[in-house]
Amino acid sequence: MRRLLPVFVALSALLAGPASAAPAAKAVAKKSVNDKGSFKQCQGAKCHRVAVFQGHNAAKSTYRTEPLEKPSGHVEIRAENLAEEIDVNIYKPDGTFDEASLAKLDTLFRCVATGEVRAVRAELYEQLSRIYDHFEGKQIQLVSGFRFAERNSSRHYHASAMDIRVKDVSYRDVYSFAETLDQGHMGIGQYPNSQFVHIDFRAPGEPSYRWTDYSGHGGGGHKGKGAKKAPARTQPARKPVS
């Protein structure tokens, strides 16, 4: 019996297989920051799943090739979350930037979560004025400008982005016109549920990008007064000048 015991042990191990071996770990794909799942969209009796976020690089053939005309510089804008509004011209009579006007806009574009103010890219204000001119002086409604409590990959964090509406104008019309202003390196997104358009200047070397986001406002950094501040890497705020 003792001679047969090793045989029984070996046979039992063979039949049982590698019981002690841990099951192979499944590879988990890293979720993209833009992967926001999907939702059911129905037309009549027919329904299908639609991605919440849909984005793509803009074809270079769609970039504007003609020079942009200089805007009037006039901007009438209201910050919705601050209940503040200003009416300024970003240019002096000689056509140079009016630093005092830019400083007022910077203050209006400040981070709602932290109150931080930064110098917004002046070219973004020029695009804002072009939009104001195109829609015949209808008030611009600012949904979000600079966001200090935001991930540093966001153009809002770098004071190079704005989320806007134009009073009494469809967000689709604002989106379509914004596309005509893109000479390259611009991001333009539409948010159908919240009815606003995002416009930004991309980081150096990045291609233009287009997207539709059904999730609403993307201000992930708005965590209230207790939010931990990220290191300051944006341009310091402009100071009003006389």
Lowest mean pLDDT among 22-26, 113-117, 158-162: 22-26
Is 2 a member of any domain?
no
User: pLDDT at position 40, please?
Assistant: 62
Q: Predicted confidence band at 231 (pLDDT cuts at 50, 70, 90)?
A: very low
Is 61 a member of any domain?
no
- pTM across the whole model: 0.76
**CATH number, domain at 171?**
3.30.1380
Q: Predicted confidence band at 2 (pLDDT cuts at 50, 70, 90)?
A: low
Instruction: Express each pLDDT in 39-51 by its tens digit.
Output: 566 777 777 666 8
pLDDT at 230 over 50: no
What's the number of domains the chain is made of?
1
User: pLDDT at position 190, please?
Assistant: 97
Is 13 a member of any domain?
no
pLDDT at 134 over 50: yes
d(CA 86, CA 139): 10
pLDDT at 174 over 90: yes
Is 1 a member of any domain?
no
pLDDT at 234 over 70: no
Q: Which residues of 41-52 are buried (b: 16+ CB within 10 A; e: fewer)?
A: eeeeeeeeeeeb
pLDDT at 28 over 90: no
What residues contact residue 199 under an 8 Å CB cut-off, 6+ apart? 124, 127, 161, 162, 164, 178, 186, 187, 188
Is 57 a member of any domain?
no
User: pLDDT at position 151, please?
Assistant: 85
The neighbour count for residue 223, using CB atoms within 10 Å, is: 13
What residues contact residue 239 under an 8 Å CB cut-off, 6+ apart? 103
Lowest mean pLDDT among 23-27, 60-64, 106-110, 149-153: 23-27
Is 199 a member of any domain?
yes
- Joined together, the tokens standing for residue 48 give 């299908």
pLDDT, greater one: 174 or 150: 174
Is 218 a member of any domain?
no
**Average pLDDT, stretch 183-193?**
97
- The strand pair at 140-144 and 74-79 is best described as parallel
Average pLDDT, the chain: 83
**Average pLDDT, stretch 162-166?**
98
Is 155 a member of any domain?
yes
Domain that holds residue 151: 73-213
User: pLDDT at position 238, please?
Assistant: 78
Instruction: Express each pLDDT in 84-113 by its tens digit.
Output: 999 999 999 999 999 999 999 999 999 999
